[in-house]
Amino acid sequence: MLAQDHIGKGTLLSYLATLLLCVAVVLGIAWMYTATQRGRFLETGYSVWSAKRSLVSNCDVGQIAIFGDSRADSALIPASLKKVVTNLAVAGGTPIENYFFIKSMLACESKPAVLMLSFNPGAFEIIQPWLWDNSVRYGALGWSELSEVRHEAARLNDKSYLAVTPKLGLDGIVRDIAYAYGFPAIYFDSLLDGRLMARTNINRQKFSEVVLARGYPSYGHAAQQAGARNAGEQTSVPFAPLPIQQSYFEATLAMLERAGIKTYFLITPYSTNAGKTHDQRYNAAYLAYLHRIDVQYPGFQLLQHQQPVWAETMFVDGAHLSQEGAQAFSRLLNRCIEDAADIADLGIACDFNQAAGADELITADLDLVKK
Amino acid sequence: MLFNSYVFIAFFLPVALAGFFASARYGRQSAAAWLILASLVFYAWWNPAFLPILIASILINYGMSEVVARSGQRPALQSASLALAVGLNLLALFYYKYFFEVAKFLTEGVGFEVHADPILLPLGISFFTFTQIGYLIDVKQGVAKERGFLNYVLFVTFFPHLIAGPILHHREMMPQFAEKLTYRFSPINFSVGITIFIMGLFKKAVLADPLGGDVTAGFNAPGDLSFYGAWWVAIRYSMQLYFDFSGYSDMAIGLACMFNVRFPLNFNSPFKSQSIIEYWQRWHMTLTRYLNQYLYNPMALAVVRWRSEHGFGTKRANQKTLGGFLSMTALPTMLTMALIGLWHGAGLQFLLFGLLHGAYLTINHALRIFRGNTSEKSNPWAAWPRRILNIAATYTAVVVALVLFRSSSLANAITMYQGMLGLNGFAFAVGKADMVWLLVLAVIVWGCPNVQQIMGQFGPALTKVEAFSKRVPLIWKANATWACAVGVMLAVSLMALGGTSEFMYFQF
């Protein structure tokens, strides 16, 4: 090709240099803005996370701390419980993230007497892209945590970690660098949707609400979410926890034992429709795995021995409890707490599925669903 | 690999460029070999399983083209080998693109059971198959002069066009690959190329992709859309497709330009067209050119011969008779457009998309032939309103047809049309910001020069475009203002690449 070659080389070089300089300046400004002003444009999930993190960083977790995934996040209302409870479970949370969150909580002098963990079986089986899109993007985890996980995955020969592709579309170590160092592309959609700073007030409001509710963000009322029902997670394969998730789960339990904190595992309910998608052998394998851990770690106790299945009306989407459902579930836990002579002996007194009042809510157990 | 991915921009392109010009120091053949290797890596990146298909296609086609070329003295053998080669290409295309759908139709629609599993469509198979069929025909006609193997492979695999076009003609590419200057780094071509590439990237990542969410949701549940909702979704889709394809075409031209190669123009502000005939001269121009050359013209010629042999007239006056018009214009138009429709996909909705455009074109030809050109000369005062009206009518017709193009099934398309006719009510629920954004896009589409007009003085494409306006001084210069503007576009595009999405024409 022969373009009109009437522009000097020097002019072209300075054109290209200026172009690159402008790219650097714009990216630099965007980088600074996204690193320091996330509350102005990120979705409200960010303020929920920030509120929970602020409770941990202020060492204000109370007597019972709840960690886990979004189902735990939606299921327990600290204000409905008789003790000072903090719900620190997060959307998309798996044992990996929760290990680091619990670790930072244990750095406080005042520690909770009891810790409650709750994960759906799927949290053990995959590494969610949310590890990057939420935990790292929201600033809860950084390069050192990601490096630690990457090395642990390599030690366990677990290839799943490197293969995960979050929203940015990258995988492997490049993905970790981009997320850990806050490459502005990971915020672009939110910058657009949040019109650069249009979410400032709503995030402030949400932050205060969640701090005030000791970590509980309402998932809404069932009636409002009628159109949003889904069947929850599909479980057609045998339960197969990833080595990396098992490793972090057990590391968490060991860390809590060393800290002298009693740990209970709660299984949150599924709706009847969602329960139908669950393979019985899958659930049995999941419970067997938790029982094995129960036996292995004296400081750990499984509170239930079956998967609770509740009426559809208690949920916003088949897997997450509505505010009414959360109140009901919290009431059940409250009865366990009330029955316990000592808060650390909660599990001795509490047979969660048989707790008074449970019959009216538990519409079917797994066997019934399968039949 | 996608042009709009970090791995392409940050790794593949710099390595491919540096390797090309570095290896050119050791001769043209080594540079061509490097570029072929890079193109094969580019192709295999997403799914290496497709690479053997591409290589087999190239080897078989090249082998057959040599048989065709060397059997010039034996016309029967030459015709037979050409028919065999074209047949093999079409068979492969049919197998990968249509077999499953046809089997499904026979099993579910007709009750004739044909077992078929879904077949993964090799990337760009329509493009490299069409390119090679064109080459075979030209070899038969003695048009293809340069037949070296290396240049042929480079012509087929050159990565800027490999996956989604433009559909190249060997006559415009082979001489460029044979040209010494192609292998010497040119700062001006690089600067022009990278500028065009960035403009294309911006169109794709910033203008097209954000429109996709509402479009997907709307076409997935067309029954939920009111009159305004359905039109809103259809118009948004037209804009998404426009900027997606326009962006891709710019990126392809820009990339080629960086390698000192010029591509034919594939996209020239089609929404500014004043008629459907003009629209097809501006939209996917190389496909239109290809089908004109290898399908429409031979068909029209065959009709003319038939008419001539049977005593029917073939002159312009005969075209004005109903029979003449139907046989010489309408028939080849409808057949060509039906095939264009099917080229885009196997569903009935694609066939109807082609036929609808065929009908548009036929009506457009009929008006041109029977009514004559009545326009601006007779009433110059009416020129602008008439132009605006023509553009609006053409665009509306295009949007209506695009519903078929985007719908996942004919039933969904019909539901969408029901919404557009107001059969699902007239509720209006469009946000102000979305409306402003669409207005901005409309200004870019109808009120701004296109990239080729902005960069036209440097001849980045083989096709020249008309100047936008002498009064609008939006002409690229290698100065600080343009560098900053393009730099901002690149920076914003790089940020927008998160969650990279495929170009829409990759699926064809």
Quote the pLDDT of residue B98. Answer: 86
B411 contact A CB<8A? no
Tell me, what amino acid is at B42? Answer: F
Q: Supply the pLDDT for residue A277.
A: 73
Residues across chain B: 508
Nearest to A22 among B6, B483, B494 (CB): B483
Instruction: Please provide the size of chain A in residues.
Output: 371
The percentage of chain B sitting over the pLDDT mark of 70, rounded to a whole number, equals 95
Interface test with A, best of B258, B495, B500, B501 (most A CBs within 10 A): B495
- The tokens of B495 are what? 């940020």
d(CA A242, CA B412): 41
Inter-chain CB pairs, A–B, below 8 Å: 112
Closest-CA residue in chain A for B210?
A189
Position B380 scores a pLDDT of 67
Q: Would you tell me the crossing angle of helices B187-202 and B227-258 to the nearest 10 degrees?
A: 160
Contact B186 A167 (CB under 8 A): no
Please check whether residue B349 is in contact with residue B404, taking contact to mean a CB–CB distance below 8 angstroms: yes
Inform me whether the C-beta atom of residue B180 falls under 8 Å from chain A C-beta atoms.
no
What the block records as the tokens of A361 is 């809510």
CB-CB neighbours of B323 under 10 Å: 12
> Cβ of B212 under 8 Å from any chain A Cβ?
no
Phi first, then psi: what are they for A42, rounded to 5°? -75, 160
pLDDT of residue B343: 86
- H helix or E strand, kind and range, residue A284: helix A280-296
What distance in Å separates the CA atoms of residue A23 and residue B486, rounded to the nearest whole number?
9
Mean per-residue pLDDT for B430-444? 91
Give contacts of B191 with chain A, Cβ < 8 Å: 7, 12, 15-16
Token duo for residue A39: 């509350």
**B473-491 pLDDT, tens digit each:** 688 999 999 999 999 999 9
Q: What's B267-300 look like in SS3?
A: ECCHHHCCCHHHHHHHECHHHHHHHHHHHHHHHH
- What's the pLDDT tens digit per position in B366-394? 998 888 765 555 666 778 888 999 999 99
Is the CB of residue B182 less than 8 Å away from at least one CB of chain A?
yes
Which of A1, A27, A188 is nearest residue B260 as measured by Cβ atoms?
A1
- Mean pLDDT, consecutive 10-residue segments, chain A of 371 residues? 67 95 97 95 94 95 95 94 93 94 94 94 92 93 96 95 90 94 93 91 96 93 54 63 96 96 91 77 89 93 84 86 91 82 66 46 37 34
Q: B494 and A23: CB-CB below 8 Å?
A: yes
Residues A26, A48: Cα–Cα separation, whole Å: 30
Letter for the amino acid at A311? A
- Going by the DSSP 8-state scheme, the letter that residue B267 receives in this structure is B
- Per-residue pLDDT, B64: 95
CB-CB neighbors (< 8 A) of A31 in chain B: none
Chain B residue with the nearest C-alpha to that of A3: B458
Q: Is the peptide bond before B166 cis (omega within 30 degrees of 0)?
A: yes
The dihedrals phi and psi of B267, each to the nearest 5 degrees, come to -155, 120
- Yes or no: say if B270 and B249 are a contact pair by the CB < 8 Å rule: no
Q: What is the ipTM of this complex?
A: 0.86
Q: Which residues of B are catalytic?
A: 344
What span, in angstroms and rounded, lies between the C-alpha atoms of B157 and B85? 19
- Chain A residues whose C-beta is within 8 A of a chain B C-beta are 1-5, 7, 9, 11-23, 25-27, 30, 167-170, 174, 184-189, 191-192, 195
Cα–Cα dist A219/A202, whole Å: 16
Written as six digits, the tokens of B409 are 């099934």
Say whether A12 and B188 touch across the interface (CB within 8 A): yes
Least confident span in A144-158, B133-147, B228-242, B326-340: B133-147
Instruction: Supply the mean pLDDT for chain B.
Output: 90
Structure-token pair, residue B235: 């118009």
User: What pLDDT, on the 0 to 100 scale, is given for residue B260?
Assistant: 95
The answer for B 243-272 residues in CB contact with A (under 8 A) is: 256-257, 260-262
B46-65 pLDDT per residue, tens:
889 999 999 999 999 999 99
The answer to whether the CB atoms of A30 and B189 lie below 8 A apart is: no
The first and second tokens of residue B479, run together, are 């100065």
- Residues near A11 by Cβ (< 8 Å), separated by ≥ 6? B478
Instruction: Give A-chain residues touching B482 at CB under 8 angstroms.
Output: 15
Give the residue on A whose Cα is nearest the Cα of B459: A3
Residue in chain A lying closest to B189 (CA): A3
